[in-house]
Chain A
Amino acid sequence: GAVVSQHPSWVICKSGTSVKIECRSLDFQATTMFWYRQFPKQSLMLMATSNEGSKATYEQGVEKDKFLINHASLTLSTLTVTSAHPEDSSFYICSARDLMPTRGGSPLHFGNGTRLTVT
């Protein structure tokens, strides 16, 4: 089935540094990808919609200058957390839309997530 690879699966960084998270669709083209954040014991909250070749659309309250999203190809979207602070520590997970899902399959595929810890 369709696979979305997300890398790294976990990362620890120091406060003030930047971290890049990659989301790659391995066997399908994803013109649209989505980035979510999940705090412990909470639900997933949409951060932004990433469109190939154009600027990302950010949800209200999400700082676009802090969470930089680039979707330069049909198979890769990246999320860069700039000048990370401890409050940015969270689980970040991407999903990609599959325009040709298998019968009974999901039109969306999630990566395995990235656990970010900022010290």
Chain B
Amino acid sequence: KAGVTQTPRYLIKTRGQQVTLSCSPISGHRSVSWYQQTPGQGLQFLFEYFSETQRNKGNFPGRFSGRQFSNSRSEMNVSTLELGDSALYLCASSGGQGGYEQYFGPGTRLTVT
């Protein structure tokens, strides 16, 4: 079974631009969670989607948004990029027959210049 995939793997953007990251969960998984990882703050939860609905949200500004499609694929969008948004963005899927374990993708490395 294929794992969680994320595209693109690397991205360089300029301050003020917006960016969209994509996550395809493991087949059969209906929950997708997004995390931001930085050296200073570590891994922080952004939001979680289940059956196209956002069920949980972390403490991030409204510039960070997401959505989930009927096939469980998810996207997250960051508008008006700031230098501090440079990070590794990870998505995780869960909810298959195995239960609640979250399986992570390889991440998207975003650099804002």
* A is bound by B: no
Report B's interface with A, CB cutoff 8 A: none
Report A's interface with B, CB cutoff 8 A: none
